[in-house]
Structure 1
Amino acid sequence: MLTPSFYDELDRRLAPTDAELASLYPGERPGRQPVHTVYVPADRISPDLPERWGAEALASLDVHGAPYAPELDARVRAKLRDEPIEDLRIDFEDGYGRRDDATEDAHARAAAKLIAAGSTPFVGVRVKCMEHDVRRRGVRTLDVLLDELGYVPENFVVTLPKVTAVAQVEAMVALCEALEPSVRALRFEIQIETPQSVLGPDGTALVARMIHASEGRCTGLHYGTYDYSASCGIAAAYQAMDHPVADHAKAVMQVAAAGTGVRLSDGSTNVLPVGDHVHEAWALHLRLVRRSLERGFYQGWDLHPAQLPTRFAATYAFYREGAALAATRLRAYLDRTDSGFLDEPATARALAGFLRRGLECGALEASSLGLDVSRLEGL
């Protein structure tokens, strides 16, 4: 039989590894994750932006008819009236372009006023990237905006686009420290829209190193559909969220982020539900949103108000269709009864996470699950 001293020696030997793993992989980030991010160029924002997008989305349903199951209609319409935009990203990058300093400074201060109004549950800005020719302008925009705000709002995040090197993430950490030296409230998300983020020159997945170089400030990885596809040489007609190069990039992102608390967001489709092709675009968006959800990407980008109905409809259908079986399996796991599935603790955590997400996004009601929802967070 092994002696107690051997067990003690194992603990001493592995204590540094235990501490490192706990630090690098703290587990799921607490709190709600928005189901989408809406990107709007900084020169097109206004105080009534969420209400205007909701009204336009409802108008598209009134004109063209709902493209989803009738039982979802009341729920989707209520969402479009009450909270049409969950996460707003005010864009100073590709959708905004290059302006003179005075103009961009003015737009940054206007963006700060909209952010301070708190009209959406989650909000942030996308600044220009850390590449040499636009770096100083991107830093200045964030500096001006935070100067106007005077504080870092809750659920505020900075999107750092076109990241190509770990050093750019380290520079972003230094910028955050310089902008708010007394607290650590400033967070950022990394856009994966260059092949260099996924595969470095040494053959390693740089995105994994980027997460850990962020010193806990990185909250999300957002896939950039069109920049990434174009960088891989994909013809414009075939650039899409479900192209094989997109699936490869997102699979690497998913593995890199697992256990770190960094959340994932899929990209967007630029096929908009406008003109004579509304229903075709809606059908595509419904399929792509559902596909992302099934692959563990619970957030995505929306670029047009008429994409909101299909975003919420696809999300609600995903959780509502799976809720009954998930609740049954989870009740059986908790009560140690037979459900026809031999679920282990990891699967129980996945079941609890599925139901928690469904509740947080408004797809489900706690009363319909038949279990104590306070136990979901514990699991």
Structure 2
Amino acid sequence: MRLDPEIHAELDARLAAVDMRLSSRYPGDPDSRQPVHTVYVPADRFHQGLVPEWGGAALRSLSSAPALPYPESLHARVTAKLADEPIEDLRIDFEDGYGIRADDEEDAAATSAAKALAGAEVTPPFVGLRVKSMESHTRRRSLRTLDVFLDAWFGGAAELPANLVVTLPKVSDPAQVDAFAAVCGRLDAAYGIALRFEIQIETPAAVLGADGTATVARMITAADGRCTGLHYGTYDYSAACGIGAAYQSMDHPAADHAKAVMQVAAAGTGVRLSDGSTNVLPVGTDDQVAAAWALHARLVRRSLERGFYQGWDLHPAQLPTRYAATYAFFRDGAAAARDRLAAYLDRRDTGILDEPATARALAGFLLRGLRCGALDDGELGDLTADRLAGL
């Protein structure tokens, strides 16, 4: 060996800053449950009994409408989910779903929403609110709504929900994220909390900057560790790209490009991804409901296949297809993933030469299936949730 042993210390010193930057920027996916969807409800329509109300409406749509486009074997699982936990992630919306109102009206809505959430009959495991954007004409109202909401909450409740998150819409520049993170720091100090937020990617400038860089990657850095997710905004983004209303969709090529950039920017950072929504609702005649359900189920499946494990739902009748399509996706692939991972762990020759990265992906797939309720403990043999998380 002719390499000077001192080279190791030299390289450690030379690359120390890089090592620190990489470990900080790319901590990996958090070992925790990710909701399969986010339900957006206009702030003036939110009330204490909203979650069971949506669950009841979803169950009625399931029993009175045409058959869902999924195997009958999933019916009991979907029905139980709608009865027990119909909404996984709820966002009280003060932006597009709420609109522009007088200040006193929005103040009252923010106060009412905080009190209703604090006293809700059932609280989803993940909750939050979407404020208005940091653009010049709405940012004062945005920050005021957030402050009023928090003030009302702490006036009547002990502490914020553990998974509360703020949605920041229509972000176009990393400076807006940096500014919002600074505001969160001030609110943290004022209320004794630790605010986190998600960024909505709804403008072309959020994907590709004027300087040719991927803006969304810079936004994650600007969030200073507070960003938990990137959510794709189907219709704002499509309209900004000049796509006609009849062709605006989650599966349009422009949408796929934006989401691919989001995916690369977020990979390894711990920031999670959410696809957008379809505004084709399962209402009307039996044929209309069946067509809307088929479309929604196809789009949910398509997102899952592309690594987007979360999406938006806008109507109670979309919940049956959200869960049916999600459960079918994980159950369809569970047996093959289980056998392939077991063969890798046992070092058996199956004709497929899997690497550690693939084993981690197989474990992640099965763990997501367990955490979302598609799979049950015991169905995967000795591949328990703890063992899968360890992989």
2:223 to 214, 220, 224: 214
Picking from 371, 378, 387, the partner of 1:367 is 378
Three-state SS of the structure 2 residue aligned to 1:367 is coil
Q: What is the CA-CA distance between 1:371 and the residue it aligns to?
A: 2.2
Match of 2:128 in 1: 124
Residue equivalent to 1:109: 111
Q: Is the 8 A contact 1:115 1:123 kept in 2?
A: no
Q: Which moved more, 1:249-258 or 1:25-34?
A: 25-34
The equivalent position to 2:197 in structure 1, one of 179, 188, 197, is: 188
181, 200, 204: which is aligned to 2:209?
200
> Do residues 303 (structure 1) and 317 (structure 2) align?
no
Superposition map of 1:209-248 within 5 A: 209-248=218-257
Q: Is the 8 A contact 2:126 2:163 kept in 1?
A: yes
Identify the residue that residue 269 of structure 1 maps to in structure 2. Answer: 278
- 2:66–2:290 CA contact under 8 A, matched in 1: no
How far apart are the structure 2 equivalents of 1:87 and 1:185? 19
Write the distance in 2 (CA, Å) between the matches of 1:264 and 1:114. 28
Partner residue of 2:95 out of 93, 96, 105: 93
Q: Which residue of 1 aligns with 2:28?
A: 27
Instruction: State percent identity of aligned pairs.
Output: 69
Quick check: 2:187–2:193 contact (8 Å CA) kept in 1?
A: no
1:140 aligns with 2:140: no
**What SS class does the counterpart of residue 273 from structure 2 fall into?**
strand
- Correspondence for 1:84 among 66, 82, 86: 86
Q: Deviations over 1:143-193 (max 9, x none)?
A: 011111124320000000000111100011011001112756210000000
Partner in structure 1 of residue 347 of structure 2: 336
- Looking at structure 1, the residues matched to 139 and 268 of structure 2 have their Cα atoms a distance apart, in angstroms, of 31
- Is it true that 1:280 corresponds to 2:306 in the alignment? no
Distance in 2 between the 1:335 and 1:84 partners? 39
- Give secondary structure in 1 for the equivalent of 2:292: helix
Structure 2: distance between partners of 1:101 and 1:50: 27
Give TM-score scaled by structure 1 length: 0.98
Counterparts of 1:337 and 1:128, CA distance in 2: 55
* 1:160 equivalent in alignment to 2:164: no
SS at match of 1:46: coil
Q: Is the 8 A contact 2:184 2:195 kept in 1?
A: yes
Deviation string, structure 1 residues 113-159 (Cα, Å, up to 9, x no partner): 23324611100000000011111111000001111112432000000
Q: Which runs of 5+ in 2 are unaligned?
A: none
Paired residue type of 2:183: L
**Matched letter for residue 178 of structure 2:** E
Q: Distance in 2 between matches of 1:293 and 1:59?
A: 26
Q: Deviations over 1:229-258 (max 9, x none)?
A: 000000000000000000000000000000
- Separation in structure 2 between the aligned mates of residue 186 and residue 209 of structure 1, nearest angstrom: 20
Given the two structures, how large is their TM-score scaled by the length of structure 2? 0.95
Give CA deviations for 1:340-376 in whole Å, capped at 9, x if unaligned.
3211111111111101100000000120101232221
How far apart, CA to CA, are the structure 1 residues paired with 2:64 and 2:335? 34
CA RMSD after TM alignment: 1.1
1:255-281 Cα deviation digits (max 9, x unpaired) = 000010000000000000000200000
**Comparing 180-189 with 218-227, which one deviates more in the overlay?**
180-189
